Amino acid sequence: MRATGQQRGNTMIEVLITLVIASVALLSSAGLQLQSKRSNFDSAQRTTAAHLAEDLLERMRGNPGALLDYTLAGQLGGGVMGQAPATDCGDPAANCSATEMATYDLWNWEQVLDGAQEIGAAGNAGGLAFPTACITGPGFGADGVYSVAIAWRGMTGTVNPGADACGAGSGSYGANNEYRRILVVRSYISAT
């Protein structure tokens, strides 16, 4: 009988050890799942930023007479363009000037950047997290290389990307811009 009592005690210890090992494995798996979700979110944000930058450059390429108007917009994001322009240049029947088209393009593009097309219970649900966009190019809207820089807030802190100052110091990306992610797309655009 003594051997049976010892056998039961050993089995109980084996079960406890197995439970501890299984618990550690499950906690590790949960941590890996969380890291995977963060990485997927950051990847989706970078993909969205790339599509948005290319979209704006194509809008500029399609309206070369107003390249200066695009670059004078300053920093975009967070609704700085305000309400919709008086002239709805999205209507094919509208007869818009190059400047009116640039104003409409910038307003419409900022709506997409901010995620204003997708509204949830807490506000905008699409777009980028705390976006800032900056458009630069040659003076006077001349032929040359134009850049669209888009900054957004990442999920985890990292070294401040110093590639471009767009959005830096705004307070949206942490005290040292450690949450700032940035993508810069450059393209040559002819003014004619």
pLDDT, one tens digit per residue, over 22-70 is 999 999 888 888 888 888 889 999 999 999 999 999 999 999 999 999 9
Question: Which pLDDT score, from 0 to 100, does residue 63 have?
Answer: 97
* Assigned domain for 15 exists: no
Extract the tokens encoding 72. Answer: 């004078």
The answer to whether residue 163 scores a pLDDT higher than 80 is: no
* Assigned domain for 134 exists: yes
* Assigned domain for 7 exists: no
* Assigned domain for 55 exists: yes
Question: Which pLDDT score, from 0 to 100, does residue 142 have?
Answer: 95
**Banded pLDDT at 157 (limits 50, 70, 90):** confident
Using alpha carbons, select from 175, 174, 187, 147 the residue that is nearest to residue 163: 147
Q: What CA–CA distance (Å, rounded) separates 112 from 79?
A: 10
Question: Which pLDDT score, from 0 to 100, does residue 70 have?
Answer: 97
Q: What CA–CA distance (Å, rounded) separates 42 from 128?
A: 10
Using alpha carbons, select from 167, 169, 171, 192 the residue that is nearest to residue 182: 167
* Assigned domain for 120 exists: yes
Is 101 in a helix, a strand, or coil? helix
Q: What CA–CA distance (Å, rounded) separates 49 from 151?
A: 8
Reading phi first (left if > 0) and then psi (alpha if -120 to 50, else beta), residue 77 is in: left
Q: What is the CA radius of gyration of the chain?
A: 26
> Which range has the worst mean pLDDT, 9-18, 137-146, 167-176?
9-18
Range of the domain at 166: 45-189
Question: Which pLDDT score, from 0 to 100, does residue 73 have?
Answer: 93
Using alpha carbons, select from 101, 109, 120 the residue that is nearest to residue 51: 109
Strand partners, 182: 151
Question: Which pLDDT score, from 0 to 100, does residue 48 have?
Answer: 95
Long-range Cβ contacts of 23-31 (<8 Å, 24+ apart): none
Q: Which residue has the higher pLDDT, 177 or 35?
A: 177
The answer to whether residue 3 scores a pLDDT higher than 60 is: no
Question: Which pLDDT score, from 0 to 100, does residue 32 have?
Answer: 86
* Assigned domain for 3 exists: no
Q: Is residue 152 within a helix (H) or strand (E), and if so which, with residue range?
A: strand 144-153
pLDDT mean across residues, the chain: 89
Residues with Cβ within 8 Å of 82's Cβ and at least 6 positions away in sequence, in order, are 107
Is 176 in a helix, a strand, or coil? coil
First-to-last C-alpha distance (Å) of the chain: 99
pTM comes to: 0.82
Structural domain total, the chain: 1
* Assigned domain for 116 exists: yes
Question: Which pLDDT score, from 0 to 100, does residue 129 have?
Answer: 92
Region 160-167: what's the mean pLDDT? 78
* Assigned domain for 147 exists: yes
> Which range has the worst mean pLDDT, 75-89, 92-106, 107-121, 159-173?
159-173
Question: Which pLDDT score, from 0 to 100, does residue 122 have?
Answer: 73
